[in-house]
Amino acid sequence: MLNWLKRKPEAVKESRTGPVMFTGKNQAQWSMGSGNTSAKDYAQEGYQKNVVAFQAINKTADAVAAMDWIAKDARGKEVEVSGLLDLIRQPNPLQSGPEFMRAVVGYFRISGNSYLERVVVGKQPRELYALRPDRMQIKPSATGFPAGYKFSVGSSSVDFDADPRTGQSDIRHIKSFNPLDDWYGMSPLMAGAYAVDQHNESMQWMQSLLQNGAAPSGAMELGEGSLTNDQFNRLKAEIDEKYTGSTNAGRPMLLEGGLKWTQMGLSPVDAAIIETKYSAARDVSLALGVPPLLLNIPGDSTYSNYREARLAFYEETVIPLAEYIRDELNAWLSPLFSGVTLDIDLDKIPAIAEKRQELWAMADASSDLTINERRMMKGYDKLPAGGDEILVSSSMIPLSMAVEPITLPPEEQPLSSDEAKALAYGSKTT
């Protein structure tokens, strides 16, 4: 038993469920509940070979990478110069800030895991690197925190220590929620695995049709006599080998011995192979959080136009993901930079700026909001004085002045109805 396990209960806070967390095998587990699918399979089948997943992941990564980062001090005030801001803008000599962020988001969206390495010089991080998830292995501990990390390439490996009481390490593991694994995140491609397979299979099917030029589907009839068991088995094996599956779709069939082919099945067009491909493509985009309209996928769309789809994409996928990564970076790096934190400048996102302009126009046209309330909606500070008055739209004077009773001198008092009639008919009142 290690000495630190003998400490007093109040010395360090830790979860009571930590010691009973599932540790599993001492290797990365990427596909709980989906056979032997690995991170490499997700990368090859879901990213390299599927154009929908490829484009959806790239759009998300590019959108996050294009965001502008700002730094704030411990009081929440924006600071222009900060070592943390310089680090995120130029994380290492080989990558720019956007390129680094594309790698972080790309690994996260493909595998559900992203690992960051920090290089500390003089008690401050000077470089950041995004590491391939399929090469990283978590070393579990009895506390529920990782005991360390092991990065392996072939026969070579590098070990990274981690504090099993606090989880502090030069490696930061950013992972998605996985209900069946305590250590590794779940890939979004796992939820869309069937859709990816269907889309890839339909593409392969249509490619085979184009190459073979026909689509045999039906029954074979024997004109006279019957087949022996050996002939039947040989014919069945030949059909299974040469004419079954997407790779053999449309391949012409050679018949002998009086056999006749009778078309019985539906053609690929009748079977709606193309629509199946589009349906699978919409499911893939759904799993990755990208509206099908942004990926030019035909079919029913929830959004009436491209602008609405792009706004939903940012509000429901890009911004939450960027804020999650921001919070992970702040929890990991901020203590080493005197409490300075990173934030995202949402005002510079075109899709959000258009929505905010509409909100600001509505605030300016409102007659029941104070100046400070309007300024707060626009992200500005309150005015030190006079900002809590409501302005009347007609003359833009304070409402308190508009409702106060006005007393006029006797000579300026309005005429009564009798006086007005007497004046109109030229008579005098007594």
Q: How far apart are CA 139 and CA 161, in angstroms?
A: 9
Residue given tokens 């099908």 in the structure block: 292
pLDDT at 75: 87
Q: How far apart are CA 41 and CA 320, in angstroms?
A: 27
Please check whether residue 420 lies inside any domain of the structure: no
178, 239: one domain: no
pLDDT at 425: 66
120, 229: one domain: no
pLDDT at 202: 83
Domain span including residue 318: 3-194+313-333
pTM above 0.85, yes or no: no
Please check whether residue 299 lies inside any domain of the structure: no
DSSP state of 6: G
170, 86: one domain: yes
9, 42: one domain: yes
Which of helix, strand or coil describes residue 79?
A: strand
Pick from 289, 372, 383, 316: which is nearest to 59 by CA? 289
39, 173: one domain: yes
* Boundary-marking domain end, from 242, 266, 290: 266
261, 407: one domain: no
**Region of residue 160 (left: phi > 0; alpha: psi -120 to 50; beta: else):** beta
Long-range pairs of 223-232 with CB within 8 A, sequence gap ≥ 24: 223/258, 223/259, 223/260, 224/258, 225/258, 231/257
Please check whether residue 47 lies inside any domain of the structure: yes
177, 66: one domain: yes
Listed in sequence order, the residues at least 6 apart from 289 whose beta carbon sits closer than 8 Å to its beta carbon are 56, 60, 188, 313, 316, 317
Q: Which amino acid, residue 309?
A: A
pLDDT at 45: 85
Burial code of 242-252, b = ≥16 C-beta within 10 A, e = fewer? ebeebebbbbe
Q: What is the separation of C-alpha 310 from the centre of its chain, rounded to a whole number of angstroms?
A: 13
* Boundary-marking domain end, from 238, 266, 294: 266
Q: What is the pLDDT along the chain (430 residues), one digit of tens a residue?
A: 444 334 444 444 455 555 555 444 444 443 333 545 677 788 888 899 999 999 999 999 999 999 999 999 988 899 988 999 999 999 999 999 999 999 999 999 999 999 999 999 988 899 999 999 999 999 998 888 999 999 999 899 999 999 988 889 999 999 999 998 899 999 999 998 888 888 888 888 777 766 655 445 555 555 555 656 676 677 667 666 655 555 555 555 555 555 665 554 555 555 567 788 888 999 999 999 999 989 988 876 677 788 888 999 999 999 999 999 999 999 999 999 999 999 999 888 887 777 777 777 777 777 667 777 777 776 677 777 767 777 665 555 666 666 666 666 776 666 666 766 666 666 554 4
273-287 vs 51-65: helix axis angle to the nearest 10? 30
Please check whether residue 224 lies inside any domain of the structure: yes
Please check whether residue 254 lies inside any domain of the structure: yes
CA dihedral of residues 376, 381, 387, 391 (deg, nearest 10): -40
pLDDT at 8: 45
95, 147: one domain: yes
- Enter the tokens of residue 412: 């300026």
Is 38:187 a contact under the CB 8 Å cutoff?
no
pLDDT at 106: 96
239, 320: one domain: no
51, 129: one domain: yes
259, 387: one domain: no
95, 34: one domain: yes
Q: How many domains does the chain have?
A: 3
DSSP state of 311: H
Please check whether residue 294 lies inside any domain of the structure: no
Q: What are phi and psi of 153, to 5 degrees?
A: -135, 105
Please check whether residue 308 lies inside any domain of the structure: no
pLDDT at 88: 95
pLDDT at 358: 72
Please check whether residue 290 lies inside any domain of the structure: no
Q: Which amino acid, residue 219?
A: A
Is 101:108 a contact under the CB 8 Å cutoff?
no
